[in-house]
A and B are shown apart, each in its own frame.
Chain A
Amino acid sequence: MISYIIRRMFQAVAICLVISAMSFFMLFLNTDPALMLLPPEAEVADIAAFKQQMGLDRPVIIQYIDFLGRVVLHGDFGDSFVYKVPALQLIMEKFPATLRLALAAVLFINIVAIPVGVISAVKRGSFIDNIATFFALMGQAMPLYWLGIMLIIIFGVWLRWLPISGNESFAHLILPAITLGSWILPLNMRLVRSGMLDVLNKDYIRTARAKGLAEWRVLGKHAFKNAIIPLVTVIGMQLGLLLGGAVVTETVFAWPGMGQLVLDSIHMGDYPVVQAVVVVFAASVVLGNLAADIFVAFIDPRIRLN
């Protein structure tokens, strides 16, 4: 178990390194930070002096190692070109809003996916099962930002039930959470459904029924607990999908989170911020996967023994 966790942790660190390198080189090879920071009328000699002062004249690989060292040791991604404050500080200001949105979406997804998935497995071919399959099919083809816009038009403009932008109250959270969640909802619904179908065919369920247990106890106690394992493992892995979807959802709903920040930074060429967001996103996704893997290894001995 310990060796498994250690191995997975090494992998996680390696993946973070690869991603940080990718983001660093992509941005550095393209834009010249000296030209971004200095006024356009700067002389060639000034640019050269500035580059030397900032260490921008060194080989890229040295610059990367320097960048990595500052990030790992001090959490220092450099200052934002636009706001002139540390990039990490900007992210930390925006992080809670994104987290709140993501958590609300996770809640929404699973409050819907678990009961619907269980019912469509138990009552296979029923009306609810068909409706759920239908919506899953629709959901897979629905561009998330369009869904967001349509929800705004229908519930915000026509019916006037819910606010359409901002993040002051719980009501503000409903439409963005549904938008962001709708992307993953079909996935989890299918997962619960197939997990449940799988378990219901097992011998121990037949045994439980043969013992004369009430059906709700068979389903609740014996089937559900085992059927839910695949879902639990993917929830950790869906962090990446959620964060990616948040970029889009935040744009549609003018939600002041990390997604908006990174888009604005890309548009303005504020690449210390872009890099910081990329690395923070990657680190959270890798951590989420790692946590999911370790959790599964705990509850399912077959995996850690492999």
Chain B
Amino acid sequence: MTESTFNQNLSITTLPSDRIRFLKRLWHLRLGILGAFLISCLVIAAVFTPWLAPSDPYVQDITQRLLPPAWMQDGNSNHLLGTDHLGRDILSRIMYGTRISLVVGLSAVVLQLIIGVGLGIMAGYYRGRVDSAVSFIVNAMMSFPFILLALTLVSVLGPSLQNIIIALGLTGWPVYTRVTRIETIKLNEQEFILAAHSLAYSSWRIITRHILPNMLPTLLVLSTVEVARSIIRESLLSFLGLGIQAPIPSWGVMLAEGRDYMLMQWWLAAFPGLAIFMAALGINLLGDALRDLTDPHLRKN
């Protein structure tokens, strides 16, 4: 979609006025803007939940259980998205769930970045045996279904917020290693790195001052997408009962509880899933826009 509109833009030969050009640029970035909007909602919900949420996510009320969303018959305007099997307000639980999703997504990505980028740069910079060893581990990890690895890890560590982050971090790093390794190899052949070598700069200085900064745009795009993936994976582990545990309002936990009621009370499972979907979509859209903005090569095409 973006690609085609962009080609149309290119085919216009007359110079548009600044304002039209600005509007065209906005139009070109419309998906990215939508993504940024979704993410702002997410962050606002996560930060200001205690003030924004209509009720306490843990308070149960047996008389109010399984209420449908407010716009349906029997709906109650106090519970906009209805209530669950214990009479808890679904909207409030979803809003509290944003906190968990964001914390897990961001922390897991930080962990992945530390392991993945470290190994990738080492492999690409030193080559030789280090490279073979790292590449071998990456291949082994990548040829294995993530979910089994994460499930085994969590079942060994025990399910808790901290262990979910560790499990996601330990299983998600190979992507970064793959990318940074190739980037490092490419950069290492360029003149400015050769110049740095010939000035006898230390490896540490070359890596931290010259190689790493040049990879930042790529890493930014990659880790954006990985935040979305980690959020989906956390909810998946929780859904399978090996992640965050009830009664904590993780979206995956809510989905798992809602699954038992899906035949009659669809809203229990539908809304938490929608939240995951919107969050992942927003982050992916923003990631795509960032890639278009930071990669001039792609922009020219």
Contact = CB atoms under 8 A, between A and B. Distances in A.
Interface of A: 11, 14-15, 18-19, 23, 26-27, 29-31, 124-125, 129-130, 133-134, 137-138, 140-143, 145-146, 149-150, 152-153, 157, 240-241, 243-245, 247-248, 251-252, 262-263, 266-267, 269, 274, 277-278, 281-282, 285-286, 289
Interface stretch (B85-93, B179-187, B228-236): B228-236
Nearest to A133: B1
A149 B284 contact: no
B152 interface: yes
Main secondary structure of the interface of A (DSSP, over half): helix
A142 B277 contact: yes
A124 B259 CA distance: 40
B296 interface: no
The 6 closest A-B CB pairs, nearest first, are A244-B145, A146-B273, A125-B4, A141-B280, A141-B281, A30-B156
10 contacts: A11-B136, A18-B140, A23-B152, A26-B152, A124-B4, A130-B1, A146-B269, A240-B144, A281-B144, A282-B143
A274 B273 CA distance: 29
A142 B274 CA distance: 9
Contact of A252 (B145, B259, B277): B259
A14 B136 contact: yes
Nearest to A30: B156
Most chain A beta-carbon neighbours within 10 Å: one of B146, B236, B242: B236
A192 to B, nearest CB: 16
A263 B240 contact: yes
Interface of B: 1, 3-4, 7, 31, 136-137, 139-140, 143-148, 151-153, 155-156, 228, 232, 235-236, 239-242, 255, 258-259, 262-263, 266, 269-270, 273-274, 276-277, 280-281, 284-285
A263 to B, nearest CB: 6
Contacts of B263: 157
A152 B284 contact: no
B140 A143 contact: no
Contacts of B239: 145, 248, 251
Contacts of A240: 143-145
Contacts, number: 127
Contact of A153 (B144, B270, B277): B270
A262 B144 CA distance: 15
Contact of B236 (A130, A241, A248, A277): A248
A149 B151 contact: no
Contacts of A247: 145, 147-148, 151, 240
A283 B70 CA distance: 51
Contact of B255 (A23, A26, A145, A245): A145
B1 to A, nearest CB: 5
Contacts of A278: 148, 152
Most chain B beta-carbon neighbours within 10 Å: one of A19, A138, A146: A146
A169 B259 CA distance: 23
Given A145-B255, A157-B262, A266-B151, A137 B240 contact: no
A124 B8 CA distance: 12
A138 B285 CA distance: 10
Contacts of A140: 280, 284
A19 B152 contact: no
Given A18-B136, A149-B255, 14 more contacts: A23-B152, A124-B4, A130-B4, A133-B1, A143-B232, A143-B235, A149-B269, A240-B145, A247-B145, A251-B240, A267-B242, A285-B144, A285-B145, A286-B143
A129 B147 CA distance: 32
B255 A266 contact: no
Nearest to B232: A143
Given A153-B269, A266-B151, A19 B140 contact: yes
A152 B261 CA distance: 12
Nearest to B268: A149
A289 B269 contact: no
Contacts of A150: 269-270, 273
Contacts of A138: 281
B228 A141 contact: yes
Contacts of B285: 137
Contacts of B236: 143, 145, 248
Nearest to A286: B143
B7 A125 contact: yes
Contacts of B259: 149, 252
Contacts of B281: 137-138, 141
Given A137-B281, A240-B145, A15 B242 contact: no
B174 to A, nearest CB: 13
Nearest to A269: B155
A266 B152 CA distance: 7
Contacts of A282: 143-144
Contacts of A19: 140, 144
Contacts of B155: 266, 269, 274
Nearest to A28: B156
Contact of B146 (A29, A244, A252): A244
B250 to A, nearest CB: 13
Contacts of A241: 145
